[in-house]
Structure 1
Amino acid sequence: MKIKLNRIDNDYHFELKNERGHVTFIDSKAEVGGHDLAPSPMEYVLMGVAGCSAIDIISILKKQRQEITAYSAEVEGVRVPIDGAKPFKDIFVTVYLEGEIAEEKAKRAAQLSFEKYCSVSKTLEPTAKVTYKVVVNNKEV
């Protein structure tokens, strides 16, 4: 896996491209010298957790013939200062599912994703605690 980064302006706005040609951008907040034209690198980490777990959970539930009509998630990260850096200490994920989905299957799919399959969560595991909850058809399970 390889990513190429190119600077766009004289500050902190960058274009990133993967080997398959997909393009995205990174910037920093205006208060630290950026132009706030794109998510920050740390916001992309949270997006990675959301996307990785979504792929896992949907895949697991599809294999179990569960009918998902809507999927969304909210991810919140808590950072702590350590030697000049501010890594994530805690990451909280709420998964929202709608459809003809057995609650226990949804709960198990999330457990498998966050505790076994999600490479992003597993990468963060040594330094950040990732916790989650699952809401199926507006009911926390």
Structure 2
Amino acid sequence: MKISLRRINDSYLFETKNERGDIVLLDNKSEEDPRGSSPMDLILRGIAGCSSIDVVMILRKQHHELEDIQVHVEGFREDGAVPNVFKKIHLDFILKGDVTPAKAKRAVELSMDKYCSVAKMLEKAAGISYSVQLNGEKVC
């Protein structure tokens, strides 16, 4: 896996590109009008994406197709700390579809505890918690 980065303005805006040519813009969130995600934003996006892919894959293997999946992620940092890393991360999985609550909970559990590489890496530095909603009802 390789990523290249190049500066595209005279401030903090960067373009990153992977080997396939996919582009993601990075910017400093303290800029007046940031045009890209901050690196810390990308970490939260990464755990949301990684775990969502797992959940969809796990449920598909069980012949369950979700109508919708959303994940809301919140990262908590210690004010004034340098470096200002995440101390806690919480993910709220919002699933919709013909899936039992037990299967929905288990799919998220498997992702967070076993399969999601991003979660496994981040758990070394931050406490990770999650909740699951299915069809508007809280599962855990």
What TM-score comes out, normalization by structure 2 length? 0.94
Q: What corresponds to 1:21 in structure 2?
A: 21
Q: Deviations over 1:34-68 (max 9, x none)?
A: 64111110000000000000000000001111131
Q: Which amino acid aligns with 1:4?
A: S
Q: What corresponds to 2:107 in structure 1?
A: 109
**Alpha-carbon separation, structure 2, partners of 1:83 and 1:40:** 17
Q: What corresponds to 2:83 in structure 1?
A: 85
Segments of structure 2 that go 5 or more residues without pairing to the other structure are: none
Segments of structure 1 that go 5 or more residues without pairing to the other structure are: none
Work out whether residues 12 and 27 of structure 1, in 8 Å CA contact, stay in contact via their aligned partners in 2.
Answer: yes
Q: What corresponds to 2:56 in structure 1?
A: 58
Work out whether residues 89 and 127 of structure 1, in 8 Å CA contact, stay in contact via their aligned partners in 2.
Answer: yes
Percent identity for Structure 1 against Structure 2: 44
How many Å apart are 1:84 and its aligned residue? 1.8
Aligned counterparts, 1:1-141, within 5 A: 1-29=1-29, 32-33=30-31, 35-81=33-79, 84-141=82-139
Runs of 4+ in 1 over 4 A off after TM superposition: none
Question: Number of matched residues?
Answer: 139
Q: CA RMSD in A?
A: 1.3
**Alpha-carbon separation, structure 2, partners of 1:9 and 1:47:** 24
